[in-house]
Chains A and B, each alone.
Chain A
Amino acid sequence: MKLYLLVSASVLLVAFLPRHECRAIESLGAVHSGPDDQSDLYQQSLPILVRLGEEYFIRLGSANQKAPPSTLNSSPGASSATINRALQVQLTQRLLQGNVGSVNRFLSSYGDQKEDAVEKGKRSEEPPISLDLTFHLLREVLEMARAEQLAQQAHSNRRMMEIIGK
């Protein structure tokens, strides 16, 4: 009887023991995924850019790269870039090193937490892919797109009337 009591008590104790190791992992994860880290890294990362008349570049550099931005030697007499010119321009930039990491979803729960913390840490080091465009250029591109939409709508209406009229 006493033996049974001892065994059941020990089983209960083992089942309800607090798991301190989980709390340690949670705090480790929190360090890597803080939003402040991301915003600090955004500020620290230098944009890799090419200026061609209008301000227009794609930010693809990583936070660790400290190279100064490169510029093209555009002619001093170049007028402010038209949209067509901006769209045809060839940019020379360094490649983004490494993609956004893929998440390995098949580890155990312990492994998942640690792996996610490491992945989040890696992702937070890389600034997100972004297009750097002035509002002026953005508005011009938007107005071009709207003009295209209106022209297409008129063309579509004309074709619809032709089809219905047959």
Chain B
Amino acid sequence: MSVTFRVQIYFFLICLSALKGQSRYLEDNDITQDGMFSILNSEIKRGLSERLLYRRPLRCIDMLTMEGQFTFTADHPQLHCAVFFIGEPQEIISIEYSSVNIDCNGGDFIKAFDGWIMKGETFPSSLDHPLPIYERYIDYCETGRLRQAVRSSQNVAMLFFRIHTPGSGFTVTIKKISNPFPCNVISQTPEGSFTMIIPHQHRNCSFSIIYPVEIKISELTLGHFNDLQVKKPVTGCGRAGDFVELLGGSGVDPSKMFPVADLCYSFNGPAEMKIGCDNTVVRMVSSGRFVNRVVFEYRLLERPELEKQKGNSVEDFCYSTD
């Protein structure tokens, strides 16, 4: 039977089943008699989403991991407030302002920051982010009326605000948007696994774990060509070519952390490394010529393991700053 004839037969069969109305059976569900119908009712659907929208007051210093609506009202002058946002690795954060009642001319401000900034150090680092640091702040007082919603480039963001007048405040609605190829990520948990893929992009990506962990790399593919290209070996490490580096440090900025290991060649099979620093980063440097991929797991180092680590001179730099 020729391919064309087979395609025609399949098309005919699909049309036949559609015309017979096989799809109608999906709507008639024995489990819930009204069930899907009542769910599909637009009024109930609207009520559902309204009722399920999480709401709570926003604190001056706060951390938010979920979607919802958060309202800050100053009961006294609040001059130094900051909120962290963090999502899953495959999400980016959307911040939408509403009911903003602040006095921009009186010194109040609300500034969203694309990333996290702590002790002057940023994640992603200024080397890994397309914008210079001052352009990563978006001031509501300057752009608010034109730009009611702000979106982050990765799974973390921050909000800084200052309100002088009691009774003033604002509301933010936080939404998470799917990001199919996450680049810079901060992990919410000390344990987990992740696959970082940089497909033909000239960029550097970091996965940060703000705990001392053991990293187990199960697969590293560098310099993978498609079938049409001739495979060439990756030029080695030493800051040339594509590679993966493991970093450890006591800040959030990967560019200020210490390289613990460089991985320059593709391999399969677990390679384990314990990094007893406050922050552990797996960073991939990609030239854009290849599709690079690293698959790894990580788990928290327990106290006995950390005690053992302290005796190891390789990671003394992590403890010297404490």
Which A residues are within 8 Å of any B CB, using their own CB? 35, 38, 42, 47, 58-60, 86-87, 91, 93, 95, 99-100, 102, 123, 127-133, 135, 138-139, 141-142, 144-146, 148-149, 152, 156, 159-160, 163-164, 166
Contacts and interface: CB of A to CB of B under 8 A. Distances in A.
A139 to B, nearest CB: 6
Interface stretch (B77-85, B146-154, B193-201, B308-316): B77-85
Nearest to A127: B120
A131 B61 CA distance: 10
A87 B32 contact: no
13 contacts: A35-B126, A38-B133, A91-B80, A93-B80, A128-B120, A130-B118, A130-B119, A133-B119, A138-B84, A146-B189, A160-B48, A163-B44, A166-B38
A135 B117 contact: no
Query: Ordered nearest first, which 4 A-B pairs have the shortest CB separation?
Result: A145-B63, A135-B278, A131-B82, A58-B80
Given A58-B82, A129-B137, A141-B84, A146 B65 contact: yes
Interface in B42-73: 44, 48, 51-52, 54, 59-66, 68
A94 to B, nearest CB: 10
A132 B61 CA distance: 12
Interface in B102-157: 107, 109, 111, 113, 117-121, 126, 133-134, 137, 139, 141-142
B53 to A, nearest CB: 10
B86 interface: yes
B188 A87 contact: no
A5 B52 CA distance: 81
Nearest to B85: A145
A135 B279 contact: yes
Given A102-B142, A130-B117, 12 more contacts: A38-B133, A93-B79, A128-B120, A128-B133, A129-B117, A129-B137, A130-B118, A131-B117, A139-B211, A146-B65, A160-B52, A166-B38
Interface residues of B, number: 48
Nearest to B59: A87
B158 interface: yes
B39 interface: yes
A70 B59 CA distance: 24
A159 B51 contact: yes
B206 interface: no
A135 B210 contact: yes
Contacts, number: 101
Contacts of A139: 210-211
A100 B134 contact: yes
Nearest to B111: A129
Contacts of B120: 42, 59, 127-128, 130
B221 interface: no
B39 A164 contact: yes
A146 B139 contact: no
A100 B210 CA distance: 30
B250 interface: yes
Contacts of A58: 80, 82
Contact of B63 (A144, A156, A160, A164): A144
Task: Name the residue in A59, A142, A159 with the highest tally of chain B Cβ atoms < 10 Å from its Cβ.
Answer: A142
B129 to A, nearest CB: 13
B54 A152 contact: yes
A116 to B, nearest CB: 12
Nearest to B66: A149
B84 A128 contact: no
Contacts of A149: 65-66
Contacts of A146: 65, 188-189
A127 to B, nearest CB: 6
B91 to A, nearest CB: 13
B120 to A, nearest CB: 5
B35 interface: yes
A161 B270 CA distance: 43
Contacts of B59: 87
